[in-house]
Structures are given as structure tokens and as C-alpha cells.
């Protein structure tokens, strides 16, 4: 390999952004300054929705704000120092969702995005334009330019948008399954399959396997691109010691019949040596005992510290993932 490694990361919002920050830091630590030329991030857009006339892209924004350093690290979402004046006014009008807060600065993002979409830009072009405001140090691309939803289907057949299920009901209503209407006509966004084909390594961020990585893999063409790339495909477990670190991946995994364990998630993705996707899988030191089980499925398993509690730990984890691919 000559020049910087070409890296593709598949990512959701919170776990995704922490991991992407780590990969960017690891590249910088290697003396690579033009990290955007080395690092393509393919983001889940299954969470996206229309609300009060504007287009929200929660995972795209989580990653953008985190890379720009303008995210609210305490709350875990949105912009730091945001206010909610417009949101209060929307509530007075009875517009939007009473349980869903739209920050004022955040709304600025949504208005800009919606305006450009209305002018005819594709989501890929909008993200490209939004990436110019701050030096993100990555090439950010949506999984697809087609509108795809993530719907939670309850036992009684009720269908809720993922954002309603999560922000209103805090994932307390047991799902019977998930649906991504629109996915069958989705195509990977421009450059996604090319980036995967030309990569030296593809990293599956420790994001929610069902509602973050799941929709990306369900875009027709992405799975084939991952199976056929000469790059190593390396995943990082979002499950540590049988528990999710943040969020509701445990509830999602249970709904699709996958145990909340690092080994079960690896089995869910499967081995590329078989009919799955992974060449290697990083598990936490707490899950050391599962290494043999993962290896038994034809996936090289590596034990590493998986807690992304600060920038240095996230960078060390990213370095371990790159190392697993020999890049």
C-alpha cells in the first residue's frame, strides 16, 4: 500500500460519531493531515424524517456536529449551547411532536437542508455542501439518496416511526420487528459502492446493528459490495459484557431474535468466509471468553478495550481496528 490507507466506516449516530472521531484522530496521529481524502463515512439515513415541514437527519447531524466539535456532549444529541424558543412556539401552535425537541440552532440546520432539497439538490449534495462549513476531516455520504424510513412494528401490528418509538416511548414498547419502507427502491448513494470497492479496510462502527448498520446493509448493492471488496471488513462490537453501552440495541436485537452478546452480534453479521460480511471482529476485554466462539464461526476475533469514553480511547480503538486489517 502506498499513501494513506483508504478507509470506509459504516456508522449510525452516537456510537458512530465517537468511533469516527477516533478514526480521524488515529489518522492524525499517523501524521496524515488530509484525513478527508483517506476516510469516507457512510451514514445511516433510516432515522430521517419530516417534522414541521423540515427534513431531519439525526445520524448525519450527530456525526457532523461531533466532527465539527459543536455537539452537546452532556445531553448526547444536538448542538451545544442551543435554545428552544422556536420549539416552544411550535408547541403553542400544536405543530410537530410534543415529545420531540427541535433546538433553535438545530432548526437552522434543518431549514438550510430543507431549502436545498426543495431546490433540487440530492441528500448527497446537501451533505457535501453542509460539510463545507466546518473542516470535518472526513468525506460524509448518506447510505442512499432515496427516502427510507425505519418503522417499529409492535406485537399488535401498530407501526411507529423509529423516532417516535425511541423519543416518545423510550423503547418501552416491545417490538415484534422492524421495517424499512422504501428500501427496495433505494440505491447506494453516489460513491458508496465505489468507496467500498477501492478501500483498504471497511469498518463497521460499534453502532446499533439493527437500526443503524441494519438499514445501510439493507440498501440493495451494499451487501454485495462488502462481500466482494478486496478490503478487509472489520467490525467493532457495540455490546460490552452482554450490555449495550448507550441506547436500545438490546431491545432491537431481542426483537430480531439475536442475543445481546458480542458473539451473537458477530454471528448476526456473519463471516465473509461463509455467507456473511466480517473478516475480523473486535470484542471487549470483558468478553474475552467469547473469542473462541467468534473464531469458531470463521471470524478472526481480537480483544481490545472498546470503551470510547474519551478521545484517546476512541483513537486507540480505531487504531486497533485498522491494525486488525493490517493497515
Strands 300-303, 280-283: parallel, antiparallel or unpaired by DSSP? parallel
Scan residues 155-214 and list those touching ligand GDP (CB under 6 A): 206-208, 212
Q: Is residue 321 within the footprint of ligand GDP (CB under 6 A)?
A: no
Q: Is residue 13 within the footprint of Ca ion (CB under 5 A)?
A: yes
Q: Is residue 48 within the footprint of Ca ion (CB under 5 A)?
A: no
Min separation Cβ 24 and ligand GDP, Å: 16
Nearer to ligand GDP, 32 or 300 (CB): 300
- CB contact burial 48-58 (16+ within 10 A = b; e otherwise): bbebbebbbbb
Burial class (CB in 10 A: 0-12, 13-18, 19+), 18: buried
In 3D space, the residue among 201, 212, 163 whose CA is nearest the CA of residue 38 turns out to be 201
Interatomic CA distance for residues 148 and 155, integer angstroms: 22
If one counts every other C-beta atom within 10 angstroms of the C-beta of residue 22, the result is 26
Is the distance from CB of 7 to CB of 201 less than 8 angstroms? yes
Using DSSP, state whether 207 is helix, strand or coil: coil
Q: With contacts defined by CB under 6 A, how many residues of the chain interact with ligand GDP? A: 25
Nearer to ligand GDP, 18 or 79 (CB): 18
**Residue in 48, 59, 106, 149 binding ligand GDP, rule: CB under 6 A:** 59
**Residue in 245, 263, 264, 266 binding ligand GDP, rule: CB under 6 A:** 245
Residue number of the CB closest to Ca ion reads: 13
Q: Is residue 149 within the footprint of ligand GDP (CB under 6 A)?
A: no
In the sheet that holds 39-43, the strands lie side by side as 139-142, 39-43, 7-11, 201-204, 232-236, 280-283, 300-303
Max CA-CA distance within the chain?
59
- From the list ligand GDP, Ca ion, none, pick the one residue 15 interacts with, judged by a Cβ distance below 5 to 8 Å according to partner type: ligand GDP
Nearer to Ca ion, 165 or 269 (CB): 165
Q: Catalog residues that contact Ca ion under the rule CB under 5 A.
A: 12-13, 47, 59
List of residues contacting ligand GDP (CB under 6 A):
11-16, 18, 59, 62, 206-208, 212, 236-238, 240, 244-247, 249, 306-308
Amino acid at each position: 500500500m502506498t499513501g494513506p490507507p483508504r478507509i470506509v466506516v459504516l456508522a449510525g449516530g452516537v456510537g458512530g460519531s465517537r468511533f469516527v472521531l477516533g478514526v480521524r484522530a488515529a489518522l492524525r496521529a499517523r501524521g496524515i493531515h488530509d484525513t478527508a481524502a483517506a476516510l469516507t463515512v457512510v451514514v445511516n439515513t433510516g432515522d430521517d424524517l419530516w417534522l414541521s415541514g423540515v427534513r431531519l437527519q439525526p445520524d448525519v447531524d450527530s456525526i457532523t456536529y461531533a466532527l465539527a466539535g459543536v455537539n452537546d456532549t452532556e445531553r448526547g444529541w444536538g448542538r451545544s449551547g442551543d435554545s428552544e424558543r422556536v420549539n416552544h412556539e411550535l408547541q403553542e401552535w400544536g405543530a410537530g411532536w410534543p415529545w420531540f425537541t427541535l433546538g433553535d440552532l438545530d432548526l437552522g440546520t434543518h431549514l438550510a437542508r430543507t431549502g436545498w432539497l426543495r431546490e433540487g439538490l440530492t441528500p448527497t449534495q446537501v451533505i457535501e455542501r453542509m460539510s463545507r462549513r466546518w473542516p470535518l476531516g472526513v468525506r460524509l455520504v448518506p447510505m442512499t439518496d432515496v427516502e427510507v424510513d425505519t418503522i417499529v412494528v409492535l406485537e399488535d401490528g401498530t407501526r411507529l416511526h423509529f423516532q417516535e418509538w425511541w423519543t416518545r416511548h423510550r423503547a418501552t414498547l416491545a417490538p415484534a420487528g422492524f421495517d424499512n419502507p422504501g428500501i427496495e427502491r433505494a440505491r447506494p448513494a453516489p460513491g458508496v459502492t465505489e468507496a467500498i470497492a477501492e478501500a483498504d479496510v471497511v469498518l463497521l462502527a460499534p453502532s446499533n446493528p439493527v437500526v443503524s448498520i441494519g438499514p445501510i446493509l439493507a440498501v440493495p448493492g451494499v451487501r454485495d459490495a462488502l462481500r466482494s471488496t478486496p478490503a478487509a471488513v472489520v467490525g467493532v462490537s457495540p455490546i460490552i459484557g452482554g450490555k449495550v453501552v448507550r441506547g436500545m440495541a438490546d431491545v432491537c436485537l431481542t426483537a430480531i431474535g439475536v442475543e445481546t452478546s458480542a458473539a451473537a452480534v458477530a454471528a448476526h453479521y456473519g463471516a465473509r468466509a461463509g455467507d456473511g460480511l466480517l473478516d475480523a471482529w473486535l470484542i471487549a476485554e470483558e468478553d474475552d471468553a467469547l473469542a473462541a466462539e467468534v473464531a469458531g464461526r470463521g471470524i478472526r476475533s481480537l480483544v481490545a478495550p472498546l470503551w470510547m469514553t474519551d478521545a484517546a480511547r476512541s483513537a486507540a480503538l480505531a487504531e486497533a481496528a485498522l491494525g486488525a486489517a493490517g493497515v
